Amino acid sequence: MPVETIEEARTLIHNWMADRGYFIKEGDFIGYRFEFIGKFGNDTHFSIIQPESLPRAVVVVSNVSVSAAHYDALSSMELKDREEFIWDLKREFIFLPSSFTFDPSFEQLGIPKSIQFSKEISYDELTEGRLHEAVDYNSRCVLWVIWVFGKMFD
């Protein structure tokens, strides 16, 4: 039976996270109807939010921060090499099942401080299976970033 209300969505998500040991806490972020913060098995943190702008959908969000050492390494690269590295990252991200965005300073600096992955689920598709799939997709995206940066700079 499809989710119809915000309370049904909250209950489904909270119970799903708690049953699997993912639930850490409920957030309190302005602009969201609700936010649940969790941790997946590989220590990937994620949030499941319902922005006020999406009255009938939730978004699974994961964020990976670029370490200071990797940021410095990117900064010290020749501009052409850095642009090629970022281009390759974007090319790989475009084929991932989750959407991605770089932090706001990226447009100005050309070097990401963090990368956010998100997967939207509409109420008519909101199930435990779809929640697992979205968290798994984001977790894989975060791991990919860690592996790529590790291979390039470590």
CB 101 within 8 A of CB 107: no
What is the rounded CA–CA span in Å between residue 89 and residue 85? 6
Domain boundaries, given as residue ranges, for the chain = 6-153
Res 148 pLDDT > 90:
yes
User: Which CATH number does 6-153 carry?
Assistant: 3.30.1460.10
Enter the pTM of the model: 0.93
pLDDT per residue over 87-124, tens digit each? 999 999 999 999 999 999 999 999 999 999 999 999 99
Helical ranges in the chain per DSSP H:
6-20, 68-76, 79-94, 106-109, 128-153
Res 41 pLDDT > 80:
no
